[in-house]
Structure 1
């Protein structure tokens, strides 16, 4: 039995419970979790934005140590440090064979897979095939990416989602070039990673925006050159005017919306120059709508595109991010504002819903 954080339904309290993980198959590994991030996608699993099956063991952004391997597993061994990958591509569908593994048909719309049973025998789902808010996880060996032993293991959890998503959105979707001006709306874990990605790409001006003044220090530490305090009541055009004033009247070359709401998507779009790119990174509800008129679409010639998992391939991109860590170009610990145990996750979700803090990291005794 292992301790895990269980959701029983939308809006229901999250409980720490004893669970029995599913048996290890010949192609699986067992991982002792060292750290797991509290991601906005976790919040979406319980606030009605997504509709997973319940009960659900939460969590997907994690790193840990391999403690057991199936007899057909190669490439990873007991004792290896690994980052978990919640979006394992099949490598054979149309999207995978056409260079878009983040759109893999095998994982489209997937929210969980059978993970084991609760103490009373009730089957549970493992969130995004991992269920990583637990002392241990059992997952396919293809869902782990080995990392060097000298990478701080707890903080390495952020490589599995926030960093891949934020940095990837900048590099792979917005394709920011040296000297570009970049807007990042929302300074949670992924927004901070996007700011860091813009800095890594050599952006000239990086404008971070958030509704909380406490986010300014975090954003500037990640690489922001400017910080603007957003007003939830102001029209979308107001931010665009501020950004144009900062960019010789044009607007920014690229905007990354890391909130996931119709209002902030419209703000990001309005802030982009003619011919620029607006990237929707945040996961928003289907009930909201964003409207555009035909004339503005024609006149501004902007690109509006979403970023799924940073359009990343974790097998390729996590090692590249580890190299940046080794070179001192990424600071994972600087994005972590709270460290809690499993019982602290509900409060972390409340902080995230209020827009407070950066990344909350769940850590385990003895990790």
Structure 2
């Protein structure tokens, strides 16, 4: 693929088959399992009822996009990749009242319904009926695209459900767009799911973007001892910038014993597992204090299994939790985190390793695979 900046000029609206008004823009797709991504023309329909078209300003390159390309999510190729994004609402469909053209928004992949059993219980962050745009974006030959996490934001303009647009204060899109996935997942794993509070001890296993966001979240919440665990000294050094007070290289040191030693022999109050592997989950389980909390936010592949003695599950008490999207409520959490960033209290800009062009996504995947970046961010 070329690495030049994608063109921004957008052809005039055209009338597609069936009378649907649409426009053609440039976007990045994964056509088949494991194939290099392609920069192609994509047809974006005008928004229908409950939908919005957003002019994307920036989109982070997340591990989930790589999982889509590798067929690790499902096989509904071709995928329109990208989901960790911010931009400006260009148009809205009938019945949309929450956002309007001109609004600066972060895109989210859990547009809550307000009517399912979770929403009616007052726990909308668990919404079981989240929704996406009804219409499909397509290739110019009519092939329907599957947008990553219902968003598809490696593109100049994207079609989403209006509920996937969260209005926030104006800010650097390349920075705040990261709240759309990885940073929110990590921050929320510590603060929302783990319930980290003042004076708590916290251990975070895995110091990529999600793990570092959990570390930063623990610091904001008032944790006084924050232990970063990884096998890469470079990542451990980086974790200090986000608030880690201690680091453990688990390739040379027993992580469980090290965490206990750093917590007066007890174990951490909250352990966040940001890797998604059985061996690191077991470390998290045994590295927590009695009645402590384990939070799984690392995404395991389907074949991964963990086995624990039931007597230990019973005898250690506490809670074993999984964290979906940091158990976030975008309308509540995104504006709050943008405010904290703008106040200098949350180091959101430090997650941006590089700013790249739309044609550089494949190269960004390679850097991610090598552990060379926290986040490459596509700017449009």
Above 0.5 in TM-score? yes
1:343 Cα deviation from its structure 2 partner: 2.5
Could you tell me which residue of structure 2 aligns to residue 333 of structure 1?
A: 349
Could you tell me which residue of structure 2 aligns to residue 349 of structure 1?
A: 365
Query: Are 1:114 and 1:123, in contact at CA under 8 Å, matched by a contact in 2?
Result: no
- Report the count of equivalent residues: 357
1:123 Cα deviation from its structure 2 partner: 1.2
Q: Are residues 1:152 and 2:175 paired?
A: no
For residues 240-299 of structure 1, what are the alpha-carbon distances to aligned partners after superposition, in whole Å with 9 as ceiling and x for unaligned? 011111111111111111112222211221211111111000111110111101221122
Could you tell me which residue of structure 1 aligns to residue 12 of structure 2?
A: none
Query: Are 1:19 and 1:117, in contact at CA under 8 Å, matched by a contact in 2?
Result: yes
1:141 Cα deviation from its structure 2 partner: 1.8
1:57 Cα deviation from its structure 2 partner: 0.1
Distance 2:79 2:134 in 1: 9
Aligned with residue 143 of structure 1, among 142, 155, 164 = 164
Q: Are residues 1:74 and 2:97 paired?
A: yes
The secondary structure found in structure 2 opposite 1:206 is strand
Distance 2:99 2:232 in 1: 42
Structure 2: runs of 5 or more not aligned: 1-23
Q: Where in structure 2 are the equivalents of 1:1-367 lying within 5 Å?
A: 1-107=24-130, 115-149=136-170, 151-231=171-251, 238-364=254-380
The secondary structure found in structure 1 opposite 2:166 is strand
Query: Are 1:112 and 1:127, in contact at CA under 8 Å, matched by a contact in 2?
Result: no
Classify 1:111/1:210 alpha carbon distance in 2 versus 1 (closer, same or farther; 3 Å): farther
Distance 1:48 1:262 in 2: 22
Distance 1:160 1:262 in 2: 27
RMSD: 2.0
Greater than 6 Å deviation, 4+ residue runs: 110-113
Distance 1:246 1:270 in 2: 14
The secondary structure found in structure 2 opposite 1:164 is helix
The secondary structure found in structure 1 opposite 2:306 is coil
For residues 25-55 of structure 1, what are the alpha-carbon distances to aligned partners after superposition, in whole Å with 9 as ceiling and x for unaligned? 1432221111111122222223343115111
For residues 123-176 of structure 1, what are the alpha-carbon distances to aligned partners after superposition, in whole Å with 9 as ceiling and x for unaligned? 111122211111111112221111122x22221101212232111111111111
Query: Are 1:55 and 1:125, in contact at CA under 8 Å, matched by a contact in 2?
Result: yes
Distance 1:298 1:71 in 2: 53
Structure 1: runs of 5 or more not aligned: none
Distance 1:362 1:217 in 2: 26
Classify 1:340/1:305 alpha carbon distance in 2 versus 1 (closer, same or farther; 3 Å): same
Query: Are 2:132 and 2:164, in contact at CA under 8 Å, matched by a contact in 1?
Result: no
Query: Are 1:96 and 1:104, in contact at CA under 8 Å, matched by a contact in 2?
Result: yes
Query: Are 2:55 and 2:156, in contact at CA under 8 Å, matched by a contact in 1?
Result: yes
